[in-house]
Structure 1
Amino acid sequence: MTDEIIVVGAGGHAKVCIEILHEMGETVAYCVGDANASDQCVGVPVLKGDENLVDLHARGYRRVFVAIGSNRLRNRLAAYATELGFTLTNAVHPKAIISQTVKFGEGVAVMAGAVINAESVIDSLAIVNTGATIDHDCDIGRAVHIAPQCALAGNVTIGAFSILGVGAKVIPEKTIGEQVTVGAGGVVINDISASQTVVGVPARRLEK
């Protein structure tokens, strides 16, 4: 059995996550990409097709990081990998600032410059992207994506599979439901119910 990591994904998000893992002192053996993927991803060889995970598990690999930007697809591929017997590892950049009281799930990505403050919870497969700030007592749901330069004040709750676009902001004690999209630069000053897209300042529902 080997301690090296398999990265699922071979695109731009995977590049960033591989470099984070390297900064953590980890070794990435392979990426697993789709049929259109390049042969290498920041110097890591790419195997094409999810079926390669079966062979890699048989060869003794047990640790995986799912580096897919799409929340739903990231969740699905993580479920597939764990069903095969892999364990999900976290990729947390050493230059992120994280309170010792933060609780992480599995398969979480935290990029450089991110700040996560006291007693926040980051559920499995969430992404806290470059320079994003999450203040105290926030609850970030499963497979949420907090994009670069977002700012969440204290006691904010974000439901599973939601995405906050680049530079979005949320004032204290607001709840955003599951599968919500907050457009880039949006400012959330009210609770947002599930399965909506909101944009603007203040953020309002985008009518179809």
Structure 2
Amino acid sequence: MPESPRVLIIGGGGHAKVVIEALRAAGFPPPLGILDPRPPAPLVLGVPVLGGNELLERLRAEGASEAVVALGSNPLRQELGDRLAALGFRLPPVVHPAAQLSPSARVAEGAVVMARACIGPDAGIGRLAIVNTAAIVEHDNRLGQAAHAAPGSALAGGVVVGDRALVGVGSAVRPGIVIGADAVVGAGSAVVRDVPPGATVGGVPAALLGPGRG
């Protein structure tokens, strides 16, 4: 059986550290390196920073074939994921072995599922989405493209989270709620009604803090 290709990591900040450890725990080969235009250090958990994103085309031409976008910004993660796909990179999903996934759950390309996350039956995790440490994404949930369920968040059954939306740390979402694209749910909130696209909500129960669109 041919050896799996080494993964290129896009981003060298704090989120990259969690991704690197998830890759190692999941049995991926040592990463090829990190691309970051403003790296905090020349090495991140022992993985070298090769340079900025201007190296993408050259590395692809030299045979790099897989990449993981390790950035917390939802819009930027989607933007760079699209660029990588256009260059022909494959975006493997990364699932930490300490996560608990239902056999019927689906995790799309480029998504990352962290340690102690729990994903229920028939849940769908979208392309480039993040299910962060100890987040609960219950049965029949839909996390959109580049959405983020932050650490310790709990989404009850049938919740829909739109593209690039953020469900903040420790938030709870009632069954059947729809959170619109690009919305932000503040940390520690209790979401009991639908959230419009682009809106910011927070509190217990969550109230509108910033306007939505449409």
- TM interval, short-chain normalised: over 0.9
Q: Rate the CA distance shift 1:2–1:116 in 2: closer, same or farther, 3 A.
A: closer
Task: Show the counterpart of 1:20.
Answer: 22
134, 158, 163: which one aligns with 2:161 = 158
Task: Show the counterpart of 2:54.
Answer: 51
Task: Show the counterpart of 2:11.
Answer: 9
TM-fit CA distance, 1:103: 1.1
SS of the residue corresponding to residue 3 of structure 1 reads: coil
TM-fit CA distance, 1:80: 1.1
How far does the alpha carbon of each residue in 1:155-190 deviate from its partner, in whole angstroms, 9 at most, with x for none? 000111100110011011111111110000010001
Q: For structure 1, list consecutive stretches of 5 or more residues without a partner in the other structure.
A: none
Residues of 2 paired with 1:148 and 1:155: CA distance?
Answer: 19
Would the aligned equivalents of 2:13 and 2:39 in 1 still touch at CA under 8 Å? no
Task: Show the counterpart of 2:42.
Answer: 39
Could you tell me the percent identity over the aligned residues?
42
How far does the alpha carbon of each residue in 1:50-95 deviate from its partner, in whole angstroms, 9 at most, with x for none? 0111121111110111101000000111111111111101111000
Task: Show the counterpart of 1:140.
Answer: 143
Amino acid at match of 2:165: S
Residues of 2 paired with 1:51 and 1:90: CA distance?
Answer: 24
* 1:174 aligns to 2:183 (yes or no): no
SS of the residue corresponding to residue 61 of structure 1 reads: coil
CA-based RMSD of the aligned residues comes to 1.3
Residues of 2 paired with 1:35 and 1:127: CA distance?
Answer: 23
Task: Show the counterpart of 1:183.
Answer: 186
Q: Rate the CA distance shift 1:138–1:122 in 2: closer, same or farther, 3 A.
A: same
SS of the residue corresponding to residue 64 of structure 1 reads: strand
Would the aligned equivalents of 1:2 and 1:60 in 2 still touch at CA under 8 Å? no
TM-fit CA distance, 1:34: 1.2
Residues of 2 paired with 1:172 and 1:108: CA distance?
Answer: 23
Would the aligned equivalents of 2:131 and 2:150 in 1 still touch at CA under 8 Å? yes
Q: Rate the CA distance shift 1:37–1:58 in 2: closer, same or farther, 3 A.
A: farther
Amino acid at match of 1:21: L
Amino acid at match of 2:5: D
1:20-99 superposed matches below 5 A? 20-27=22-29, 28-99=31-102
TM-fit CA distance, 1:207: 4.5
Residues of 1 paired with 2:148 and 2:90: CA distance?
Answer: 21
TM-fit CA distance, 1:199: 0.5
Q: Matched residue pairs, number?
A: 208
Amino acid at match of 1:17: V
How far does the alpha carbon of each residue in 1:115-157 deviate from its partner, in whole angstroms, 9 at most, with x for none? 0000001110000000000110001101001100000100000
Alignment TM-score, normalising by the size of structure 1: 0.97
135, 148, 152: which one aligns with 1:149 = 152
SS of the residue corresponding to residue 47 of structure 1 reads: strand
Would the aligned equivalents of 2:12 and 2:39 in 1 still touch at CA under 8 Å? no
